[in-house]
Amino acid sequence: MTQRFLVTGGAGYVGSHVVAALLDRGDAVTILDNLRTGHRPAVPPGAAFVQGDLADEAAIDAVLAQGLAEGPWTAVLHFAALSQVGESMRMPMRYLLDNGANGIRLIDACIRHGVTKFVLSSTAALFNVPGNDPIPEDAPIDPQSAYGESKYIIERALRWAHQVHGLRYACLRYFNAAGADPAGRFGEDHRPETHLIPLVIDAALGRRAALEVYGDDYPTQDGTCIRDYVHVSDLASAHLLAVERLDDGPLVWNLGNGLGHSVREVIASVERVSGLKVPYRMAPRRPGDAAVLVASSQRAQAAGWRPVHADLDEIVRTAFAWRQSHPDGYGKQA
């Protein structure tokens, strides 16, 4: 029997790659997205698309009920969210409402419509861990932003949904999603863009001013911050695996390569891949930036997940190819 999925935020960066992975293996997918940050051209061919907002309870009910008429939902995959950490500190209530309250509204609708599996796109922004060791799932939860707090609110709601209603859930905590579909179908197009790799690529291509590197006096090998970059296609495979593993009960996974790369190393990788020079200048540290954030993904790996695109140059190569072939991303916003 064909598996059927509802994907919220499926017109976004990670969501579109997950939808493509589901369709590639023959699953049926319905996307619910308000297109506030997603892109209609990012909806993979073959997916049903509904433009709607999670704040609209009637719209959620209508999508879930219409889908049930065609057979039971295999799972709901939830990506729809505001995701700018800095913005969340300027507008914390907006993030707590849009992400936290709307996430709870979606969970409640799933319970009413008999959905048994739910996968949350969560974040490493839940953690505030000093030191340089890889961060495990049982590290202390201490969000330093309203964005991180909004995701933790949903994680807590899922625990209650499981305890009271039996909803099986997965919380997948990404570290730094990066790269693009190796086949060139989908890529990264945030507006504004805040992720390091596309910013470095745009600096190399002359599409932006010199890159600002925030701090070169951290206790790392070259003084710049170290982050764990995980390819977006590897994140997609983790979601598919998580749905299968939910037959054994709820799970919480950190998703990263377990390898850290500094800002200077990312710059050097872009220069190797592109053959271009990256103009950059040093700037003061940003408040709240940790020296090192690297994931321990032992739980996911114990379940059978392996990052296929772990090499930094390969991650950068896919991102660079997407940017070259899509200089305007998915095109101008409506």
One domain for residues 123 and 50: yes
For residue range 120-143, what is the model confidence (pLDDT) as tens digits?
A: 999 999 998 888 789 999 999 999
Residues 141 and 209 in one domain: no
Three-state DSSP class for 1? coil
Which pair of tokens denotes residue 85?
Answer: 């950490």
Which residue from 121, 316, 72 is spatially nearest to 199, judged by alpha carbons?
316
Predicted confidence at residue 2, as pLDDT, reads 84
Is residue 223 in some structural domain? yes
Residue 44 lies in a domain: yes
Q: Specify whether 132 is located in the same domain as 108.
A: yes
**Are 56 and 85 contained in the same domain?**
yes
Any idea what the CATH number is for the domain that residue 297 is in? 3.90.25.10
Place of tokens 């009960």: 249
CA proximity to 225, closest of 267, 189, 256: 267
pLDDT at 146 over 80: yes
How many angstroms separate the CA atoms of 5 and 15, rounded?
Answer: 12
Please state, rounded to an integer, the average pLDDT across all residues of the chain. Answer: 94
Check whether residue 170 and residue 34 sit in a common domain.
yes
CA neighbor of 264 nearest in space, from 230, 293, 222 = 222
Tokens encoding 261: 């790369």
| pLDDT at residue 290, as a whole number | 84
Strands of 292-293's sheet in order across: 261-262, 226-227, 292-293
125 and 105 inside one domain? yes
The stretch 87-113 carries a mean pLDDT of 96
What was the pLDDT predicted at 334? 35
Q: Could you give the residue ranges of the DSSP H alpha helices within the chain?
A: 13-24, 57-68, 85-90, 92-95, 102-112, 146-165, 196-204, 232-245, 263-274, 298-302, 312-325
| Residue bearing the bigger pLDDT, 87 or 288 | 87
The reply to whether 146 and 221 lie within a common domain is no
* Model pTM score: 0.95
Residues 240 and 319 in one domain: no
Q: Token pair 């392996």 is at which residue?
A: 306
Query: Average pLDDT, stretch 295-315?
Result: 96
Question: Among residues of the chain, what percentage have pLDDT more than 90?
Answer: 89
For 236-251, write each residue's pLDDT tens digit. 999 999 999 999 999 9
pLDDT digits (tens, 9 = 90+) for 206-244: 999 999 999 999 999 999 999 999 999 999 999 999 999
* Mean pLDDT of the 270-288 span: 94
Counted domains in the chain: 2
HSE toward the beta carbon, residue 87, CA cutoff 13 A: 13
pLDDT of residue 332: 60
117 lies in which domain range? 4-179+229-255
Catalytic annotation on 147?
yes
Residues 30 and 156 in one domain: yes
Could you tell me the maximum CA-CA distance found in the chain, to the nearest angstrom? 59
Picking from 132, 118, 120, the residue whose alpha carbon sits closest to that of residue 296 is: 132
Which of 95, 147, 174, 229 is the catalytic position? 147
For strands 226-227 and 261-262, give the pairing. antiparallel
Average pLDDT over residues 177-194: 94
pLDDT tens digits along 5-33: 999 999 999 999 999 999 999 999 999 99
Contact at 8 Å (CB) between 325 and 239? Answer: no
pLDDT at 289: 82
For 137-190, the DSSP string reads TTSPB--SSHHHHHHHHHHHHHHHHHHHH--EEEEEEESEEE---TTSS-----
Residue burial 164-175, b: 16+ Cβ < 10 Å; e: rest:
eeebbbbbbbbb
